[in-house]
Structure 1
């Protein structure tokens, strides 16, 4: 078994760090010096992708792809989404409008998947830096299951991208949804459709 999972989210939300935390190989990254407003947030930024691997056994592995957070590199999202079986969306709780970020990324994912249905989990990061971390704000915003996940709710978990347990918990939630979709294919959509 070999699956690919895509990590997306705003600049500085923790995508690269999460992949470094969980990967069983040295992470291949395309970090470059930040030269625009991103430089105010961090020195380096991903410009194409990050790639790591999580080994699950002798023949099983999960490829971990990190997409750039800057919209100007969003063409990479389409390339990486095509190969992915699920999505981890990081939302930086310390940003000025994290719920707006969530809306933006969910809309982008829905549009870019062109009818494909993938399981999605959301990791809310930097909760120690923003206001009080009430995850219900994000859950309430999502309300009914999104069109990219169909019938089931999207898990929203507080996450420290540096913490192995937190990152494993996100991936366990996502791989559990993938496993359920394989075990009960009657609940998934036509074609490659998967849902949360």
Structure 2
């Protein structure tokens, strides 16, 4: 029996959510980018205002629906809508932002209820542009939360990197999964 599962990608503006879904999707992704009109325009020209959507098909036919949230808090009403029915969360963090640990705490807090009932994996982007903080620093930050999700350095443009995040998330949900 073919299953359809839903994974949510979230994180701050510019962390690579749209790029990651585009890299991973087996179908042309749906994007709701609009011209940035606020402080976001200093980081990038457009921003997601509703969602990003893509889909990947696993060997055996199971489908994973990929939903990306807007990164701006003013669109947070979409976060609850998009997480409904989700099986896990991919949190992308941009290592070049002024305080990526503040972003980490913010998104863990905002998605805390969802994380409690599903699974979490964290991808840190832009580490090629800013090597600090390192992954060990993220692990230390997470120790205070009681969470111990898998954390990876990722390039959101690379399908292989994003696929590793999704695989880690799926294995954390069902450790008995066979490696594909």
Matched, 1:122 2:122: yes
Match of 1:49 in 2: 51
How many residues are aligned here? Answer: 175
SS in 2 for 1:162: coil
Matched, 1:93 2:95: yes
Q: Deviations over 1:47-78 (max 9, x none)?
A: 00000000114531000000000000011110
Distance 1:127 1:30, change over 3 A: same
Q: How far apart in 1 are the matches of 2:176 and 2:53? A: 25
Root-mean-square deviation (CA), in Å? 1.8
Q: So what's the TM-score if we normalise by structure 2?
A: 0.91
Match of 1:35 in 2: 37
Equivalent residue in structure 2 for 1:109, among 105, 108, 111: 111
Unpaired stretches in structure 2, ≥5 consecutive residues? none
Deviation at 1:134, TM superposition (A): 1.3
Query: Runs of 4 or more off by more than 6 Å in structure 1?
Result: none
SS in 1 for 2:50: strand
SS in 2 for 1:24: coil
Match of 2:63 in 1: 61
Deviation at 1:131, TM superposition (A): 4.1
Match of 2:15 in 1: 13
Deviation at 1:44, TM superposition (A): 0.8
Unpaired stretches in structure 1, ≥5 consecutive residues? 183-196
Q: So what's the TM-score if we normalise by structure 1?
A: 0.84
SS in 2 for 1:83: coil
Q: How far apart in 1 are the matches of 2:36 and 2:144? A: 37
Matched, 1:166 2:161: yes
Q: How far apart in 2 are the matches of 1:156 and 1:116? A: 17
Contact 2:93 2:100 in 1 (8 A): yes
Q: How far apart in 1 are the matches of 2:144 and 2:176? A: 19
